[in-house]
Amino acid sequence: MAHRQFPTLVRYGLIIPALLLAGLLRLALDPALGFYGPITTFFGVSMVVAWYGGRGPALLTLLLGALAAAYLFMPPRGSFSAAPGQWLGVTLYLAINFVVVLLVVYLKSSKESAELNDFRFRRLLEAGNVGIALADSTGHIRHANPVLLNMLGYTPAEVEAGELRWDRLTPPEFTEITLAALRQVDSDGLPFGPYEKEYITRSGGRIPVLIGLVPFERTPDGPLTGAIFVIDLSPMKEVEKQLRLQEARMHIAAQTAGFGSFDLNLETGEEYWSPEIKKLFGLPPEAAVALEADRLPIAFHPDDHKDVLQAVQTAMDPNGFGEMQAEHRILQPGGKEIWVLNRSKVVFAGEGANRHPVRHIGALIDIDERKRLEEALRANEARLKRANAELEQFAYVTSHDLKAPLRSVHGLSTWIEEETAPHLSRDGRRHMQLLRDRVAYMDQLLNSLLEYSRAGGQVSELKSVATADLIEEIIAEIEHPPEFRVEIVSEMPRFTTDAFHLHQVFRQLLDNAVKHHDRRDGRVALSARDLGAAYEFTVTDDGPGIPGECQEWVFNLFRQGPDAPNSTGTGVGLTVVKKVVENIGGDIRLESSPGEGTTFRFTWPKQIPINGSCPPTRSSDEIPA
């Protein structure tokens, strides 16, 4: 409206130019009018001011105009001494003009209200995410907003040409529901909906929509007109599709993995137990889950009930983290026991002293097979330990008991040689020497077997070990050519450990490197690396190397490398090394290529618990060679 569009000063400022214009116009017409119609021009400008300035400025213009006309153009001019009849005319003029001004103001206000309503309606049509169409009951769509046009793929020109009709947009299977909605709107004149249907797009595709109908009017001989509100449900339907897909996947995953979920509202008492969890309980999907007085399912095994209840109460402690994880059994109606992993989360509301649990959400995971396998594994491990202990005991007893007759053979051969020496031929003496060599080798083999049976024994004592000093001691102990070099090429650690077994490993590896080297001027390099929880030690030689086909069994008992015919070894040393390293908690591996030497790497934990005794690995009754 005009008086809303212009400031008050501007609206009232219209009065002055309007009166001046009316006065000048009346002066211009004065030769023709004389004393007739003194206020004619002032009547016109009052309506103009009413249209642009509003009611207040118009009424003021009307009053001032009447006074100006009476003073300037009514006889006697220049005074207000007009005859009573003339003032009656002025009064009548004011009354008529007052009514006219009010009519003008009302018309202007109505026009602006209509324009504003039209503006708002068009904004409503063109804005938002809702498609809107103005249509009639014959199927004709008179107007469609851009949202609906984009939704259906039509243009405004096609709407103007009458190509967009709601009856053509409706698939046949939705015709009846659409006609029923129209009949309902026509009968009661009230809005109808919303209801779901589909629309056919210009390209021939289909989109799901939500429809609402608002009737406007029905002409006496014409169709019912109204507005159609359309919401495209495609995004929502896609989300629903994905949710159904995810739900199906979740259901399949739950069935495959053997877990079920639950959701307990601790405030309302509402419960949800998934079909999978009911299956774990031995119940059909439609069955209710029976609960104890403490709200735990009666399907929980009675022997585990107390522990599970304690775990639940701990999780529901407002001062805690609200998490629960417990393994327990389920007792099905038929008596079958199933192990499950109970993992859940408690949701709290409130803060501080007002913090309290409101929901308990979690899952029960079927771990029965795992528990059975663990039980079988523990049983197999126990049997294996017993078998290993029996095997080691057998090896120890066998090797120990064989030493007595072996000493007898050695002593007898020595006596025979001494008594018959003058009568023995050269071949006889050679055979006797060969016999003693075989006895010595047999003794060495028995000692190695004893060492293997005792290898990796439990730790009885830990002490501080300077690894470099330990290696120097071993170098001094083993036999090697003067030109053979054993070097430490990195800083070696000092730490508290099982010195006896570490000495055993280094001695076997160094002795093995010297014994199997193909040159007298060979070289062995030792180094160490800190791995955090353990040290990695490396023993590298520049010997002949180990062929790939031999590397697979080089740690096996009584297996030797390709130089075995020229070696004095028994094939036990590396087996002992592997057993000691693995029993202590480390691992060992080798890297080798023919002609490029061999590298042994083994890890040794920094922390080793004392858990028993470690018997010596050297026999005290060795047979002299």
Q: Which residues have CB under 8 Å from 538's CB, separation 6+?
A: 525, 526, 527, 528, 529, 599, 600, 601
Which pLDDT score, from 0 to 100, does residue 153 have?
92
Same domain, 500 and 572: yes
pLDDT value of residue 536: 96
The residue range of the domain holding 400 is: 373-450
Q: Examine the domain organization and report whether 119 and 135 are in the same domain.
A: no
Peptide bond into 76 cis (omega under 30): yes
Of the segments 74-78, 302-306, 516-520, which one has the largest average pLDDT value? Answer: 302-306
* Helices (H), ranges, 79-173: 84-126, 146-152, 156-160, 166-169
Look at the block and give the residue holding tokens 């509202």: 265
Q: Same structural domain for residues 492 and 601? A: yes
- Please tell me the number of Cα atoms within 13 Å of 81 on its side-chain side: 4
Identify whether the C-beta of residue 434 lies closer than 8 Å to the C-beta of residue 606: no
**pLDDT computed for residue 619 by the predictor:** 39
Q: Is residue 240 part of a domain?
A: no
* pLDDT surpasses 90 at 490: yes
Indicate the residue among 450, 478, 509 that finishes a domain.
450
Q: Is residue 288 part of a domain?
A: yes
Measured distance CA(193)–CA(549) in Å, rounded:
83
Whether 610 is covered by a domain: the verdict is: no
Q: b/e map of 292-310 (b: 16 or more CB within 10 Å)?
A: eeeeebebbbeebbeebee
Model pLDDT for residues 416-467, shown as the tens digit of each residue: 777 777 777 777 777 777 777 677 666 666 665 665 555 555 565 788 999 9
**Which residues are CB-neighbours of 39 under 8 A, at least 6 positions away?**
65, 66, 69, 70, 73, 90, 93
- In this prediction, residue 226 carries a pLDDT of 86
Nearest to 342 by CA among 354, 356, 359, 325: 325
Binned at pLDDT 50, 70 and 90, residue 77 comes out as confident
- Asked if residue 415 belongs to a domain, the reply is yes
Q: 109 and 228 in one domain?
A: no
Number of residues written out for the chain: 625
| CB of 362 closer than 8 Å to CB of 345 | yes
Give CA–CA dist 428/566, Å, rounded.
Answer: 24
Which pLDDT does position 46 carry in this prediction? 78
Percent of the chain beyond pLDDT 70? 80
449 by DSSP, 3-state: which? helix
Q: What is the pLDDT of residues 326-380, one digit of tens each?
A: 999 999 998 999 999 999 999 999 998 899 999 999 999 988 888 888 888 888 8
- Count, in order, helices (H) and strands (E) of the chain: 19, 17
467 and 592 within one domain: yes
Same domain, 362 and 385: no
* 396 occurs within a structural domain: yes
Average pLDDT estimate for 514-519: 87
CA neighbours within 13 Å on the CB side: how many for 416? 14
Which of 209, 232, 255 terminates a domain? The answer is 232
Residue 154 in contact with residue 131, Cβ under 8 Å? no
Does a structural domain hold residue 318? yes
Kindly state the percentage of the chain with pLDDT values over 90: 29
Confidence band of 3 (pLDDT split at 50, 70, 90): very low
Residue found under tokens 């002490």: 463
* CATH value at residue 146: 3.30.450.20
Distance CA 393, CA 371 (A): 33
Of 366, 384, 399, the one marking the end of a domain is 366
Instruction: Quick: pLDDT tens for 257-300.
Output: 667 889 999 999 899 999 889 999 999 989 999 999 888 999 99
pLDDT attached to residue 200:
93
Greater confidence (9 vs 201) lies with 201
In the chain, what's the furthest Cα-to-Cα distance?
Answer: 190
pLDDT band at 502 (very low <50, low <70, confident <90, very high): very high
Clarify whether residues 326 and 310 are in a common domain.
yes
Same domain, 141 and 105: no
Averaged over 214-235, what is the pLDDT? Answer: 82
Whether 268 maps to a domain, the answer reads: yes
Q: Rounded mean pLDDT of the chain?
A: 81
Domain identity same for 516 and 581? yes
Pair 572, 489 in one domain? yes
Res 5: pLDDT? 60
Q: What is the pLDDT of residue 30?
A: 66
Which tens digits make up the pLDDT trace of 547-595?
766 767 677 655 555 554 444 555 567 888 888 898 888 999 988 888 8
Residue 613 lies in a domain: no
- Tens digit of each residue's pLDDT (9 = 90 or more) over 134-174: 888 888 888 888 888 999 999 999 988 888 888 889 999 99
Distance CA 202, CA 154 (A): 6
Q: What does the H/E/C string look like for 278-341?
A: HHHCCCCCCCCCCECCCCCECCECHHHHHHHHHHHHHHCCCCCCCEEEEEEEEECCCCCEEEEE
Q: What is the pLDDT of residue 556?
A: 65
Clarify whether residues 466 and 600 are in a common domain.
Answer: yes
- Tell me what pLDDT residue 343 has: 93
Are 193 and 325 contained in the same domain? no
Supply the pLDDT for residue 139.
Answer: 80
How much is the pTM?
A: 0.41
CA 196 to centroid of chain Cα atoms:
35
H or E stretch including 491? none
Q: Identify the pLDDT of residue 565.
A: 45
pLDDT of residue 345: 94
- 421's CB contacts (< 8 A; 6+ apart) are 429
- Structural domain total, the chain: 5
